[in-house]
């Protein structure tokens, strides 16, 4: 069993100065119980915690680390950029080059604007959609997360075409009055919402592969159906690919499913492990963004030279190696192995995977939306999580989050994961 004394000591200190002892809620282990592990360093496919335990990392900083921890190319790129200055508050060539490379990859992108977080990308793209259409309402899906902007922190209402209800203290009903929430993978609910309020809806905002209720793929025809409904009602289709970009496919979900949105949010991988995100789309829409147009958005650290350098290094490695294929192969083998071990132990388990993302749900039924995700056995997941952690495998500390693999996970790590799972399923 791994030690956690130093992590517990640090957590006791942290709760005195940080809300809940953390800087992002899911890190607090509230949904699985216990105290969070404090990390000291990462190398390749491993994290090393404050007690010196080496853990196979299947979180990968929630997605950015497609090449694993401290990849030499990224470390060198950041070191070189830092030696020239950490921020200028002025344009650089690196941000132009990264923009050109991203645009060349994504078929729906003609222009992009860099920001520092997925939340910034989400709030900015909603503002742009409203300005471009002259409409106020946004349709989103229950269980999909698009950052913590007030208008997007809305839970499902009581009916198919109801307004979203505030999902956080401090978010007023007026703030979410123009947010409509319907079930993911339910085209009939989307059609009903547009039948009721289609003339008011500026955009459909969706994770094309949901990752914030656990990994939930789109049903066949779902994304194409959203494209058709948006077109029929002269609304915009917005893909939030902050998580799925370079993760579910060597480019993104819009290439994997051949459905092109009007606007796209990107993040995580695009910064190579440093804070960076972007939003982009058609030139006529993006030309509305200041200073070209009348939609204001700004950021002191947008296009930060360190993040641009890391992002360029990441994309260069992905373009010139089989890194993505290796990460995907490990994810497939791990998913198959978990299914086999669970079946041998008689434990109901559904492992859902797209590309290098996966979730193990404790249920014997497919998970298709937030309601079916919430119906899975979260307590069993909590027991499994701690058994795996004690055996040296770090999973997302929530039953409703996706796991991630990297190009540097290999046979040794796979054996460690499946050996740990074999024992863990016996205590679930």
Place of tokens 């471009």: 132
Beta bridge partners of 360: 351
268 is catalytic: yes
Q: Which residues of 153-175 are buried (b: 16+ CB within 10 A; e: fewer)?
A: bbebbeebbebbbbbeeebeeeb
The Cα–Cα gap between 204 and 135 comes to 12
The Cα–Cα gap between 385 and 408 comes to 22
Task: Tally Cβ neighbours within 10 Å of residue 34.
Answer: 17
Torsion of CA 269, 368, 122, 172, to 10 degrees: -140
Furthest-apart CA pair in the chain: how many Å? Answer: 60
Q: 165: closest CA among 178, 176, 151?
A: 176
The Cα–Cα gap between 108 and 421 comes to 41
240 is catalytic: yes
374 is catalytic: no
User: Cα separations (Å) of 330 from 336, 380, 421?
Assistant: 10, 24, 15
Q: Quick one: tokens of 307?
A: 């993040």
Beta strands in 82-235 (DSSP E): 111-115, 137-142, 154-155, 165-166, 179-183, 201-206
Q: Which are the contacts of 79, defined by CB distance < 8 A and separation ≥ 6?
A: none
Task: Tally Cβ neighbours within 10 Å of residue 140.
Answer: 27
Q: Which are the contacts of 171, defined by CB distance < 8 A and separation ≥ 6?
A: 150, 153, 154
User: Interior CA angle at 297 toward 63 and 283, to 5°?
Assistant: 80
Catalytic residue among 49, 142, 240, 369: 240
Residues in the chain: 428
Catalytic residue among 140, 178, 262, 268: 268
Alpha helices in 291-405 (DSSP H): 305-319, 323-345, 370-374, 378-390
Q: Quick one: tokens of 145?
A: 């997360």
Residues 201/161, Cβ–Cβ less than 8 Å: no
Catalytic residue among 46, 145, 257, 394: 145
Active site residues: 145, 240, 268
């Amino acid at each position: 069993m791994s030690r956690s004394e130093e992590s517990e000591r640090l957590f006791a200190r942290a709760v005195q100065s940080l809300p809940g002892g953390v800087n992002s809620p899911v890190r607090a282990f509230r949904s699985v119980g216990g105290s969070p592990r404090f990390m000291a360093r990462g190398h390749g496919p491993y994290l090393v915690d404050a007690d010196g335990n080496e853990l196979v990392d299947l979180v990968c900083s929630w997605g950015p680390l497609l090449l694993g921890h401290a990849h030499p190319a990224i470390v060198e790129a950041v070191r070189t950029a830092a030696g020239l200055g950490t921020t200028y508050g002025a344009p650089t060539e690196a941000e132009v080059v990264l923009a050109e490379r991203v645009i060349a990859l994504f078929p729906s992108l003609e222009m992009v604007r860099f920001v520092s977080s997925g939340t910034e990308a989400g709030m900015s793209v909603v503002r742009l959609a409203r300005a471009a259409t002259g409409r106020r309402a946004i349709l989103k899906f229950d269980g999909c997360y698009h950052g913590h902007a007030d208008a997007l922190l809305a839970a499902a209402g009581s009916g198919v075409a109801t307004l979203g209800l505030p999902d956080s203290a401090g978010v007023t009903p007026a703030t979410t009055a123009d947010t409509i929430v319907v079930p993911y993978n339910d085209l009939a609910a989307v059609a009903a919402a547009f039948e009721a309020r289609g003339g008011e809806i500026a955009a459909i905002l969706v994770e094309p592969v949901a990752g914030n209720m656990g990994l939930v793929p789109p049903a066949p025809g779902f994304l194409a159906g959203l494209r058709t409904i948006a077109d029929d009602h002269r609304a915009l289709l917005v893909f939030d690919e902050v998580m799925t970009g370079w993760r579910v496919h060597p480019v993104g979900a819009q290439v994997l499913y051949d459905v092109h949105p009007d606007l796209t949010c990107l993040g995580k991988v695009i910064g190579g492990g440093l804070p960076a995100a972007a939003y982009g789309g058609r030139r006529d829409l993006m030309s509305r963004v200041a200073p070209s147009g009348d939609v204001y958005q700004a950021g002191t650290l947008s296009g930060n030279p360190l993040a641009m350098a890391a992002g360029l290094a990441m994309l260069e490695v992905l373009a010139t190696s089989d890194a993505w294929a290796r990460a995907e192969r490990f994810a497939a083998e791990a998913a198959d192995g978990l299914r086999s071990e669970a079946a041998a132990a008689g434990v109901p388990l559904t492992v859902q995977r797209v590309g290098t993302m996966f979730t193990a749900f404790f249920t014997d039924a497919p998970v298709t939306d937030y309601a079916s995700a919430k119906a899975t056995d979260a307590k069993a997941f909590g027991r499994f999580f701690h058994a795996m952690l004690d055996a040296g495998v770090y999973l997302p500390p929530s039953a409703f989050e996706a796991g991630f693999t990297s190009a540097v996970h290999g046979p040794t790590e796979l054996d460690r994961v499946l050996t740990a799972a074999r024992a863990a399923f016996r205590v679930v």
